[in-house]
Structure 1
Amino acid sequence: MPGPWGAVLYETRTTHVRAVPRRVFRHRGYLWLVDLDRMPELPPLLRPLARFRTRDHAPADASTIRRDLTRRLAAQGIRLDGGRVLMLTQARSLGHVFNPLTVYWCRDEAGAPLCTVAEVHNTYGGRHRYLLRPDGRGRAETAKEFYVSPFLPVDGRYRLVLPEPDGRLHLTVHLDLPGGRAFTATVTGAGRPAGPAALLRAVLRHPFATWAVSLRIRSQGVRLWLRGLPVHPRRPPTENPNEEEVPRG
């Protein structure tokens, strides 16, 4: 149900549940579902509210997100060719964006699912992509390879449920450590065709949404630190082969 911009807007509710100590963190916002071959073209007056900058998802030398993703998948033996790629993400708004999770659903030229890519960003300026082969219900699992929270080790396995959205969005990410489940995140929402009215409605309901995501994550981290949770040291990016630096600016 893409709108006049060829995209869908989902007003979302995100819930994070940490097992020990038990903490529940919820916030509302909105996400875009866009076709990488048909990126939204907003009128000039609305562009400050939504920009899809290649450097927010790919290296500085990449010409487009699609070409960078195609190149990286080809290195893993996956050929996109003319297949469709849908990306679920926050757009850069009012000069800022931080995407804890961006999801790409990749199909071949015949429309058959090829793979799903989960792109994770951390607050230290790092980015990592997990290549997933979900089953028919969108379920997949992968080893954790990337430093995200200072209060969780780079250990264990992610168990994900990432079905390609239609009118509804429902994503789940579990982190299981050797001692049991440590963390669960869910994102749910209802979609509507993306156009000027839908965007303005979302912005008015969730002002400064991209800034709020960064602020809430950091404030939750401060609260956990004040409670005395042990911190797992982060290796410098030069020593972490799984971490790619996100260009600044």
Structure 2
Amino acid sequence: MTTEPALYTCTIAHVRTAPRRYTLRHRTYMWLVDPDHPPRLPYLLRPLARFDPRDHFTGDRPSIRAGLDDFLAGHGIHLDGGRVLMLTHARVLGYVFNPLTLYWCHGPDGRTRCVVAEVHNTYGGRHSYLLHPDGSGIARAEKTFYVSPFFPVDGGYRMRLPRPADRLDLTVHLDREGGRAFTATVRGTRHAVSTAALLRLALRHPWSTLAVSAAIRVHGIRLYLRGLPVQPRPDHRTPETTA
């Protein structure tokens, strides 16, 4: 298992099939890093990629890995020093929005013990799902966290989360009573981390995570104007979920 950080140029698509079909698609880039060994960038490039523990889990641990380990320990899981691969957006010029961060968690023998899916919504909430994918990389989880204002907190996720290699190929389905309501896909190509590669992506996708957050809000306004009813947002924090 390689531990070298990587960049993935991505196309992210959201396809809503109920109650009205609607598609959102945008291009961006993501990082694959070992949170124990984040990339060491030249000083002038550091504002373009910062991995801050405040942006993950409870936000009050000294490192991202410490936050992950605390979450896993709460579910009785200990990696015993095994490595972690994290797929995420980095802070860019002080701003980050991470709709989905994934952690592939391994034991000392290199075998995957679990996957953690950390979900953030546009209201500032975050929630983590503990997943145990089967041999084909498929995991399921009951939906327990409010994400879209047009879907209530019901149904379940079916996720295909193979560990990234030369290609990134992730799929998340939301199934509700009556059928599949939503599908998100992330397709990408791996690139070695270099000054030239990061500058090229930063210029091509300036304020990348701010653009993602803004796009979600703009498309939400469009859906609202098309008559989709807004579902009430729970005012309580949901428990972490195991699947």
Normalised by the length of structure 2, the TM-score is 0.95
Give the equivalent residue in structure 2 for 1:187: 186
- Aligned position for 1:130: 129
2:38 corresponding residue in structure 1: 39
The aligned counterpart of 1:88 is 87
Match for residue 222 of structure 1? Answer: 221
Cα-to-partner distance string for 1:142-172 (whole Å, 9 max, x where unaligned): 1000000110010001000000001100000
Kindly indicate whether the alpha-carbon contact (under 8 Å) linking 2:53 and 2:67 is maintained by their aligned counterparts in 1. Answer: no
Contact kept in structure 2, 1:2 and 1:194, CA below 8 Å: no
Q: What's the CA shift for 1:201? A: 1.5
* Aligned residue in 2 for 1:242: 239
Q: Is the Cα–Cα contact under 8 Å of residues 143 and 154 in structure 2 kept in the other structure?
A: yes
Structure 1: how far apart are the matches of 2:98 and 2:23? Answer: 19
Write the deviation string for residues 46-82 of structure 1: whole angstroms up to 9, x where unpaired: 0111100110113242011101111211121111121
1:240 maps to amino acid:
R
User: Residue in 2 aligned with 1:246?
Assistant: none
| Pair 1:25 & 2:24 matched | yes
Q: In the TM superposition, what whole-angstrom CA distance separates every residue of 1:87-136 from its partner, at most 9, and x where no partner exists?
A: 00000001211011000000000111100000000001100000000012
Q: Distance in 1 between matches of 2:212 and 2:192?
A: 23
Q: In structure 2, the residue corresponding to 1:154 is in which secondary structure?
A: coil
CA contact (8 A) 1:33 1:88 kept: yes
- Separation in structure 2 between the aligned mates of residue 58 and residue 73 of structure 1, nearest angstrom: 11
Instruction: Please list every run of 5 or more consecutive structure 2 residues that lacks an aligned counterpart in the other structure.
Output: none
Kindly tell me the number of residue pairs found equivalent between the two proteins: 239
Name the SS of the counterpart of 1:204 in structure 2.
helix
Say which is worse superposed, 110-119 or 204-213, in terms of deviation. 204-213
Instruction: Give the structure 2 partner of residue 233 of structure 1.
Output: 232
TM-score by length of 1: 0.93
Report the Cα distance in structure 2 between the residues aligned to 1:155 and 1:148, rounded to whole angstroms.
Answer: 11
How far off its partner does 1:2 sit? 6.5
Given residue 94 of structure 1, which amino acid in structure 2 is its aligned partner?
Answer: L
CA RMSD of aligned residues (A): 1.4
Deviation of residue 193 (structure 1)? 1.0
| Residue ranges of structure 1 left out of the alignment (5+ in a row) | 244-249
- Give the secondary-structure state (helix, strand or coil) at the position aligned to 1:124: coil
User: Corresponding residue for 2:205?
Assistant: 206
Does the CA contact (< 8 Å) of 2:140 and 2:156 recur in 1? yes
Contact 1:89-1:103 at 8 Å conserved across structures: yes
Partners of 1:241 and 1:176 lie apart in 2 by 20
* Alpha-carbon distance in structure 1 between the residues aligned to 2:38 and 2:101: 15
How far apart, CA to CA, are the structure 2 residues paired with 1:96 and 1:231? 27
Equivalent-residue separation in structure 1 for 2:228 and 2:214 (angstroms): 20
Give distance in 1, aligned partners of 2:34 and 2:238.
Answer: 30
Alignment-mate amino acid for residue 73 of structure 1 = L
For 1:168 and 1:60, locate their aligned partners in 2 and report how far apart those are by CA, in whole Å.
30
Q: Structure 2 counterpart of 1:187, which letter?
A: V
> Aligned partner of 2:239: which letter?
N
Residue identity (%): 60
Aligned partners of 2:2 and 2:210: how far apart in 1?
A: 26
Cα contact 1:2–1:193 (8 A) shared by 2 = no
- Whether the 8 Å CA contact 1:15–1:24 is kept in 2: the answer is yes
Match of 2:11 in 1: 13
Q: Could you list the per-position Cα deviations for residues 145-204 of structure 1 after superposition, in whole angstroms to 9, with x for gaps in the alignment? A: 000011001000100000000110000000000111000000000001112111112112
Q: Deviations over 1:204-223 (max 9, x none)?
A: 22222111001000001100
